Structure 1
Amino acid sequence: MKPPFRWLFWLYRLGREACPERSRGEPKRRSKIKAPHFMWGFLFLLMNHEVYILYSKTLNRYYIGSSSDIRVRMQFHATSPGYKFTGKAGDWEIFLKFFCENKKQVLAIENHIKTMKSKNYIENLKKYSEMIEKLKNRYSDR
């Protein structure tokens, strides 16, 4: 499943064209048309929520997390202070990541994986992709 980056760009441009003074950095004018504001609701719905699992060789540990922007989150983990869990090692690499439908599903799956508390379970998630599909079906809104 490819992330809908084209839709996000299209909605961003639509908001800027509807209210061009905002794109030039001019102060916000009071008007009855609030075209750019409707855009953020759509952007929130189209955000790519994903569950990720990091692995550190030095600690031989896994870290389970979720984010809508994995690049920003990885940068946070790389620069986190030493008293945080991911700050204890500098060699975190992405072990597994997968997209979900919405934030509610992401948080439910992340919580499920954390409550399992098993390295074998995490390694089996990577080995058997049908486990991920079963989790997505189990925690879907349908």
Structure 2
Amino acid sequence: MHYLYIIYSGALDKYYTGESINPLVRLEQHNSHYFKKGFTNAANDWEIVLTKKCNFKTDAIYLEKFIKRMKSSKFIKKIILNPEILEDILSKKQL
């Protein structure tokens, strides 16, 4: 089982999208600056605002890349308010 997750930093007013088998452990890693050169190293107040369970790692990665390609916090806010959008994105995924 894999998860797509979106975290938010109030200090930066930024979102970050990732995938993991354990979003809570990954959140701790982001907040403790485990990833030394990572984007999330700029803050330590990250909080999970959305998780989406995926049956396959490839689906979680597909959603992560799709969201990152959009480069839009407006789009991320829409997903947070209406997570069903993610199912729609997956249903249109090319096999």
For the aligned pair, the TM-score class normalised by the smaller chain equals: 0.7 to 0.9
Aligned to 1:128: 82
Segments of structure 2 that go 5 or more residues without pairing to the other structure are none
Determine which structure has the larger helix proportion and give its number: 1
Provide TM-score, normalisation by structure 1.
0.60
Unaligned runs of 5+ in 1: 1-47
**Pair 1:140–1:72, CA change in 2 (3 A):** farther
RMSD of the alignment, in Å? 1.8
For 1:59, what is the secondary structure of its paired residue?
coil
Give the CA deviation at 1:140. Answer: 7.8
Check whether the contact 1:105–1:140 (CA below 8 A) recurs between aligned residues: no
The answer on 1:103 being equivalent to 2:53 is: no
| C-alpha displacement of 1:53 | 0.5
Output one character per residue of 1:37-91: Cα deviation in whole Å (capped at 9) or x when no partner.
Answer: xxxxxxxxxxx20100110011011101000111221121121166432121111
For 1:52, give the aligned amino acid.
Answer: Y
TM-score of the aligned structures, taking structure 2 as reference length: 0.87
Indicate the percent of aligned positions where both proteins have the same amino acid.
34
Work out whether residues 8 and 48 of structure 2, in 8 Å CA contact, stay in contact via their aligned partners in 1: yes
* Aligned twin of 2:93: 139
Does 1:71 find its partner at 2:24?
Answer: yes
Q: Which protein is bigger by CA-based radius of gyration?
A: 1
More strand by share: 2
* More contact order relative to length (CA 8 Å, sep ≥ 6): 2
